[in-house]
Amino acid sequence: MATMASAAAASASARRWRWRWKWRTRDAVLALLIASVLAPPLLLYGGAPIAPFSGPILMGSAASGLDLSNLDAFAAVKEPIQTVASDAAALKAGLIQHIVDQSSGIDRGTKDNGMVASVNKKGGVEFTKENGLIDDGKLRENKVRAMRNSSGLNITLNKDHTADRPPEKTTDTTSEDSDIRAISNNTSHSTASPDSTIRVLRDQLKRARTYIGFLSSRGNHGFIKDLRRRMRDIQQALSGATNDKQLPKKYYLSHRYTKFFTVGISDDDLCLVSGVHGRIREMELTLTKVKQVHENCAAIISKLQATLHSTEEQMQAHKQEANYVTQIAAKALPKRLNCLAMRLTNEYYSSSSSNKHFPYEEKLEDPKLQHYALFSDNVLGAAVVVNSTIIHAKTPENHVFHIVTDKLNYAAMRMWFLENSQGKAAIEVQNIEDFTWLNSSYSPVLKQLESQFMINYYFKTQQDKRDNNPKFQNPKYLSILNHLRFYLPEIFPKLNKVLFLDDDIVVQQDLSALWSIDLKGKVNGAIQTCGETFHRFDRYLNFSNPLIAKNFERRACGWAYGMNMFDLSEWRKRNITDVYHYWQEQNEHRLLWKLGTLPAGLVTFWNQTFPLDHKWHLLGLGYKPNVNQKDIEGAAVIHYNGNRKPWLEIAMAKYRKYWSKYVNFDNVFIRQCNIHP
């Protein structure tokens, strides 16, 4: 019996030992399994790997934009978070609340919807209401600590325990914070300009394209991918906007980022993630990182120089193209002006207007009155000159206007001024065809215009190429009206003084004082253009020709045609018309100057020009984009010299108003031709 009892005890002891060994082995296996499950999240969130998400949460107020690239890190560790965290839904709710807060730009010292994050006794996250103002930085810190504690991770905030982290990590964080502060300062811009944000976005796109060209050769595919994503964001923000008001106010999360938010979150909570300024900061942060990686400054400089050179070449090509198109547009007669001339002509011959006479014809040859000479084939231009002069005249009854036009526009010009009374001012409209004395045997310019050389130059189609300046083939240089200004004594034999006006000027003040100016024995009274470097003699005349070099000074001041007081008595004494004929004959083959009446006037009135005060005549409204507004308003006469005449579609809009206010847009003929301001 003792033996049996001893055997039974030994058997029970063996079973107990085997049971203990079995459970010890099971405990070890379970421990290994638990370690294998818990190790990855602990490694992920135990130290530096938390940094990618520290962007939007730990940066505080230093970065107001959300770094969308950091959401990839959260999507990658979605399962570990759900495994470890005791309250994943609360964690996501806190994250969403933080995203919405940052993207909507909540200021420090404001209520965060009255919610304060805390950790309950069970390890979950609770949001409780708190009255009064809450510090935004402290509130964000509480949210982060609550979310971290709820996930079972013992991670302290960088703000409170930076000493516990390795030195290199602290340095990196400090550097990143300083970069963010610098970016925040760099991307801030004035809101006074309506397109200041547009300019910042476009500048960032240019810089990003430049960096992509460098990074592709160095194998930095990660940076390129990030840059391209930022560029798409910026391009989406621009989307054809031309000013800041057209920029979209908010943006939505991409589907690739919404996978993380799957439990208990509505679509409305995910809508707003970043504004325009947030995207600007995101791009600036990416550009700063790329700049730190790419250290080849010499390659950047070389690339930028090549880009600059290419841009300059493109700009020159565009300038030439624009100049060519502008010259073509300047040569064309607008359809509306042609319509006006045709309707006036039809009315003139279909009514009794052809038998009418202008009033005050007795004033036409009175030398005591103030006479104006206007040579034009533009009805509307001539109407503005006469109308603006009479409106500002103190004594309109003393003004006499002599208008000379060609045969084609004679009826239209007469019809306009017969139907539009000019008060007590005298009007005369003449046809240049009636000047029988003006023929090719008397005028060298008429003889030259009939020569085969000039016909080939002006009318041969193969010469109309883009490498030739179409300005030299402008039909106005074929018109004798343009050269009629050199025959004033023959046109007005009984007058002593005449004020010559171009049809592209506007009178803004009374001009009566010009007749009392002493010209000191000179023939021509005009403003000088010494301030303009391209208005000196060497810009108009060919000084490589010995005849020009011998008789004129290369750097002599030019003067302006358009408003000129001519003393016809002195003109006759000095035989100025013969001087003009001499120089025109010498320029038969255009070897002395190329075109126009100004070079001919410079040589004809050499040492015969008296400089007038610049307040009388302001130039440049037909080609200068930056004429001072005060100078325009203070000038007696403003001149639309250049190609961009006020009646053309290519006119500068900001100058057109000074001309259009003297057009009677209620006139029946103007309405019929759809002429409008």
Tens digit of each residue's pLDDT (9 = 90 or more) over 505-534: 999 999 999 999 999 999 999 999 887 555
The Cα-based distances of 520 to 259, 396, 604, 611, 618 in angstroms read 91, 28, 18, 10, 23
How far is the C-alpha of 610 from the C-alpha of 601, rounded, in Å? 14
3-state secondary structure of 566: strand
Q: Which helix (H) or strand (E) holds 413?
A: helix 410-419
- pLDDT tens, 434-457? 999 999 899 998 888 777 777 776
Q: In the beta sheet, which residues pair with residue 115?
A: 129
Pairwise pLDDT comparison (369 vs 9), residue with the higher score: 369
584 φ, ψ (degrees, to nearest 5): -65, -35
Burial of 563 (0-12, 13-18, 19+ CB in 10 A): buried
Give the pLDDT score at 133: 41
C-alpha 390/C-alpha 644 separation (Å) is: 25
Q: Among 445-454, 552-561, 614-623, 638-647, whose mean pLDDT is lowest?
A: 445-454
CA-CA distance, 438 to 486, in Å (whole number)?
A: 11
* 218-227, 303-312, 495-504, 570-579: the lowest-pLDDT one: 218-227
Q: What percent of the chain has pLDDT over 70?
A: 61
Higher per-residue confidence, 602 vs 276: 602
Range of weakest confidence among 119-123, 301-305, 390-394, 578-582:
119-123
Cα three-residue angle 120-123-129, rounded to 5 degrees: 30
Least confident range from 156-170, 447-461, 620-634: namely 156-170
Q: What is the full DSSP assignment across 339-405? A: HHHHHHHHHHHHSGGGG---S-GGGTT-TTSEEEEEE-S-HHHHHHHHHHHHHH-S-GGGEEEEEEE
- Written as six digits, the tokens of 64 are 């107001």
**Do 420 and 344 form a contact (C-beta atoms < 8 A)?**
no
Give the helix, strand, coil percentages of the chain, each rounded to 5.
Answer: 55, 10, 35
Q: Name the phi and psi angles at 387, rounded to 5.
A: -65, -45
Mean of pLDDT values over 63-84: 40
Retrieve residue 547's tokens. Answer: 């005849």
Q: Average the pLDDT over 395-419 and give the result.
A: 95
Say yes or no to pLDDT of 595 above 70: yes
pLDDT (0 to 100) of residue 286: 83
Q: What is the pLDDT of residues 289-305, one digit of tens each?
A: 777 766 566 666 777 77
β-bridge partners, 128: 116
Which tokens hold the place of 179? 């970069």
Residue 393 neighbours by CB under 8 Å, 6+ apart: 399, 425, 510, 511, 512
**What backbone phi and psi angles, to 5 degrees, belong to 129?**
-80, 145
**487/571 Cα distance (integer angstroms):** 10
**Cα–Cα distance between 176 and 492 in angstroms, integer?**
84
CB atoms within 10 A of CB 214: 17
pLDDT at 44: 46
> Is 551's pLDDT higher than 80?
yes
pLDDT class for 354, splitting at 50, 70, 90? Answer: confident
Residue with more model confidence, 553 or 268: 553
pLDDT for 172 beyond 80: no
**How many C-beta atoms surround the C-beta of residue 608 within 10 A?**
17
Rounded-to-integer distance, Cα 392 and Cα 449, Å: 39
Res. 20 pLDDT band, cuts 50 70 90: low
Q: Could you tell me where the DSSP H helices lie in 216-296?
A: 221-238, 255-258, 276-293
Which residues, other chains included, contact 318 with Cβ-Cβ below 8 Å and sequence gap of 6+? none
**Residues 6 or more apart in contact with residue 411 via CB below 8 angstroms:** 344, 345, 348, 349, 354
Query: Looking at the predicted structure, is the pLDDT value of residue 318 above 70?
Result: yes
Are 541 and 602 spatial neighbours (Cβ–Cβ below 8 Å)? yes
The residue with greater pLDDT, 496 or 55, is 496
Comparing 411 with 73, the larger pLDDT belongs to 411
What is the distance in angstroms between the CA of the first residue and the CA of the last residue of the chain? 132
For position 677, what pLDDT does the model report? 79
- How confident is the model at residue 9, as a pLDDT? 63
Q: Taking 70 as the threshold, does the pLDDT of residue 37 lie above it?
A: no
Tell me the C-alpha distance between 656 and 206, whole Å.
Answer: 36
pLDDT of residue 643: 87
The overall average pLDDT reported for the chain is 74
Q: What is the mean pLDDT of residues 609-616?
A: 95
The tokens for 159 are 């703000």
Segment 184-203 shows an average pLDDT of 66
Calpha distance 331→476 (Å, rounded): 8
For the segment 648-669, what is each residue's pLDDT rounded down to a tens digit? 988 999 999 999 999 999 999 9
Per-residue model confidence (pLDDT) at position 5? 58
CB 210 within 8 A of CB 304: yes
Q: How far is CA 141 from CA 134, 172, 260, 408, 580, in A?
A: 12, 20, 22, 86, 90
The DSSP output letter for 590 is: S
Question: Would the pLDDT of 59 be above 50?
Answer: no
Q: What is the pLDDT of residue 654?
A: 93
- Comparison of pLDDT for 566 and 52, the residue scoring more: 566
In the predicted structure, residue 188 carries a pLDDT above the cut 80: no
Q: Which two tokens stand for residue 5?
A: 């009892």
Q: Per mean pLDDT, which range of 92-96, 194-198, 642-646 is the poorest?
A: 92-96
pLDDT tens per residue, range 81-124: 333 344 444 444 454 454 444 444 444 433 444 444 444 444 44
Predicted pLDDT at 36 = 63
Gyration radius (Cα) of the chain, Å: 43
Q: Residue 677 carries which side chain, given as an amino acid letter?
A: P
pLDDT for 543 beyond 80: yes
113 phi and psi, to 5 degrees? 55, 25
